[in-house]
Structures are given as C-alpha cells and as structure tokens.
Structure 1
Amino acid sequence: MRDRPDAVMIFAAGFGTRMGSLTQDRPKPMLEVGGQPLIDHALDLIRAAGIKTVVANLHFKPDVLAAHLAPKGVALSLEPERILETGGGLRQARTLLGSDPVFTLNSDAVWTGQNPLTRLAQAWNPQEMDALLMLLEPQDANGHTGPGDFLRDGDGRLSRGPGLIYSGAQIIKTDGLDAIREDVFSLNLLWDQMLTHDRLFGIVHKGGWCDVGRPEGIALAESLLQSAGDV
C-alpha cells in the first residue's frame, strides 16, 4: 500500500436538478464558473497535486462530459442504468482506480487557499486512518445550508454531530466497500464502519470554498475567486 495515494475519483454523475433550467442542455459539472467548467476547477486541483490516475463517474448527459474529459486523460466509469451514489459509484470504479487508498473529490465546488488534495496527502497516516476528510468551519462554507456533519477531537478523530462541514474532498481506503450489500449507497455507510473503530479523521481547510449546488452559487463562487485573485 502506498503511503501517498496516487488516484482520485471525481463524482460527476448527478442530475443537477437544483440548478433548474441551467442543466437542461448540459450536466452540472459543465456549468461555467469564472470562465471555465466546474469540473475543470477540480482538474486544476488534481494536476497541481500531482495525482496521476483520474477517474470520473458519469450518468446524466454522459456524452457531454465524456467528450470533455476523455481528451484530458480522465478515465470514465459509466453508470448507464442508475446513479450508484458515492459508495456504489466508488466501488464500481475500483477497477480503474486500483486497490490502494484514493482521493475523492466532488465536482460542484470551487476552492481558494491551500490545495486541499495536497494538504490531505501531507496529513494522511494509513497506520491510524481509514479515511481523512477535509472539513470546513461553518462560516467558511459558502453556499452550504445545514447544521454541519462532524465533531473533531484534539487528535483529529471524528464523531457525528453538528459542527464541521464535509467539503467533498477526502482520502479513503476502499476495501471496506466489499462488505456492503447494497448496490446503491452513500459513503456514509463506510464512514459509519470507520467511526466504530475510531479510524475516521479530519482536517480543516485553510482557505475559501463554495458549493455550487444552486444557481445563486455561481455568483457566490465567482465572487470568492475574484476576492482571492483567481479570476
């Protein structure tokens, strides 16, 4: 097992229904923010972190994404019949990702400040951790609504509770996926297994972040990027 993961799964299969008419002719990862598609913001982070193997799962309007991603060297994990959610999607993509721990990254957020993937790699300790999540202080979670997801102790171990917000970036071991019987399931099921063994950890992002899950998120994200000088 590598100490530093070298593969990343981009979650890009969703319908983007909260975007309304904006996703009538394109999948949400292809909506432009700051002059480039959302998914290219994710790819910029991945390239800067030096990760070699990049996989994206596709379901909604897959031809549009495939035409954009394949020339960029992204391997495609198609979910033609139904969306498998994060857990099922990651399990299906293991044939492309390999058996070592992997990064996962949502395709509907923009980041400023330190590269979250680089920071995760620097903090990753596979001897202690089964997953390491990048978290946000509530005041830094632009575009997010809700009470938060996790509490974090002084050693970085996580427990469930309103507090820090999961950002959509992590490093995770995938072998525990084999024990889950469902075909369609969230990675929350795997996190729950890790929580019972005190093997779920988190660190807090140092910089800006914006969820682009609703139309108003585009303007929020562009404002964040402009304030950081990234556009």
Structure 2
Amino acid sequence: MVSPSTPFRPTRAMMLAAGLGKRMRPLTATTPKPLIEVAGKALIDHGLDRMAAAGITDVVVNVHYLADFVEVHVSHRSVPKPVISDERRQLLDTGGGLKKALPMLGPEPFLLMNSDSFWVEGATPNLELLIEAWDEARMDALLLLAPMVNAFGYDGHGDFFMTPNAEVRRRKERSVAPFVYAGVAILHPRLFEGAPDGPFSLNTLFDKAIEAERLFGVRMEGIWLHVGTPKAIREAEAAILESAL
C-alpha cells in the first residue's frame, strides 16, 4: 500500500480494444480500429506509449473483433506489459469488459483508456494531470474531460458539466454541455460493487457514482481529436501538423 504521504500513481491499466469500429468502415472491414494508423502509428500505440510515459507497467487489453490481429500486435510490446482479456465469445460492452478484467487489474485504482482516445498535449501531459488530481478518499472515478471548444471531429452535444470543486454532472436531454468524456479515467475497483454480470455500459456505473457524489473530472489541456470516421483521420493528422508548426 502507498503511505499517506506518498501520492498514489497507478501502475496498472485497462485498454478497451474490443469494439467493432462500425463508423470507421470500410477501413475496419479488414483492420480492427485500434490498429488503424494516425500520423504513422496505430491508435492503440499512441495510447500505450502515453501509458508507458506515465509509469504504467502492466496493461489489460480486451479483444473481440479481429481479435487475433490486436493480440499479435500488442504481444510485441514489453512496456507496458500486455495481458489479454478475451471477449471473442461475447462482446461485453465497456462495463462488462472491465468487470471481467478486474481480477487481472488488482485491488488498487487503475487507469482506463479507450484504444481510440487521441489528443495533442498541452503544457502538461494529460495523464499527469489526471494522476495528480486523483483523491481516493473522495473519488470512485475521475474522468478526463475535453472542453467542447477544443474538441475536433466531434459533432455531439457534450456529455458533462463540472462544478467548481470538479464534481461531474451529466447533460440533460435537449441541452448542451461544455465537456465531452475523452475516454480516459482513473477508476477504483469498488465502483464495480454490485455491478451486473454480462454486457453493460460503464455509463451505468458513472451514474451510480454521480448519485453518490463520487464522480469527478479533470479539464484536459491541449486538443482532443475524435477519430471516429475515415475522414476524421485526415482531420486529426492535419491538426497534429498544425500544432507542430
């Protein structure tokens, strides 16, 4: 256990890589979305590289669609060291996939990342902002939230509001919220107490944490790039080039 005087840093993570990637067709007809390249690197490697820089040593990667391709790809990595959570027989959605993987993630809070989470960093790496803000006494989940004004390729109405003390509230129907969930979070395993078996959305547990006043957010720095369609890949690469210039 970490002593009270030592800031907690997660060493384990979950990479969600089992989705079907339907909006990315026709590219995903033969290539799983996590392996589609943006700026010369597979989406999943962008995320895994950021995990490694943040001190993550072990990562659980769930697989379903074109699972063999993803499994072989990540097997070549040593940092973070990958372990596969196999969902070939049944796709379990975000919540169900995480619950299945909990025994491999251990009892401590862990980092969660969608395999297509993609951004251009600001002054401070966003995983560092997330880790520094984690407070186990107050939080069951801490989300990385991208301001809508800095979200490229996203055409939704936002997901959340954030109070002055960083508590998160969900957007109501027919309204617009200033923040969108960037697909990155720190979660405590206790969030899954009483969770159902089989497929279910992680949003169910986010709502439970909101009711308990234990869901918090961190404002992302830099630019969040929603890489959801083939067109969005070109837009993301253009944004990366513009940022570099």
Q: Same fold (TM over 0.5)?
A: yes
Question: Does the alignment pair 1:188 with 2:209?
Answer: no
**Equivalent residues of 2:140, 2:190 under 8 A apart:** no
Equivalent residue pairs, number: 230
User: 1:172: Cα distance to partner?
Assistant: 0.8
Note if 1:59 corresponds to 2:64.
Answer: yes
Question: Runs of at least 4 residues of structure 1 off by over 6 A?
Answer: none
Task: Please state whether the residue corresponding to 2:84 is helix, strand or coil.
Answer: strand
Corresponding residue for residue 142 of structure 1: 152
C-alpha displacement at 1:177, in angstroms? 1.5
* Cα deviation code 1:103-133 (max 9, x no counterpart): 1011113211132222110111111111110
Give the Cα separation in 1 of the matches to 2:217 and 2:178. Answer: 12
Unmatched runs of 5 consecutive residues or more in structure 2:
3-7, 172-176
The DSSP-based 3-state class of the residue aligned with 2:209 is helix
Aligned counterparts of 1:189 and 1:182: Cα–Cα separation in 2 = 13
Name the counterpart of 1:119.
129
Establish whether residue 227 from structure 1 lines up as the match of residue 225 from structure 2: no
AA aligned to 2:13 is V
Query: For 2:117 and 2:216, how far apart are their aligned partners in 1?
Result: 21
Cα deviation, residue 220, structure 1: 1.3
In the aligned structure 2, how far is the partner of 1:125 from the partner of 1:24? Answer: 42
Aligned partner of 1:80 in structure 2 is 88
Tell me the distance in 1 between the aligned counterparts of 2:242 and 2:107.
Answer: 40
Matched, 1:97 2:102: no
219, 227, 231: which one pairs with 1:204? 219
How far, CA to CA, are the matches of 2:85 and 2:134 in structure 1?
26
Query: Percent identity at matched positions?
Result: 38
Structure 1 residues 87-108: Cα deviation after superposition (integer angstroms, max 9, x where no partner): 1111111121112111101111
Q: Which residue of 1 aligns with 2:174?
A: none
- CA contact 1:8–1:55 (8 Å) conserved in 2: yes
| TM-superposed deviation, 1:53 | 1.3
TM normalised by structure 1 equals: 0.95
Distance 2:16 2:31 in 1: 16
Q: 2:26 aligns to what SS in structure 1?
A: helix
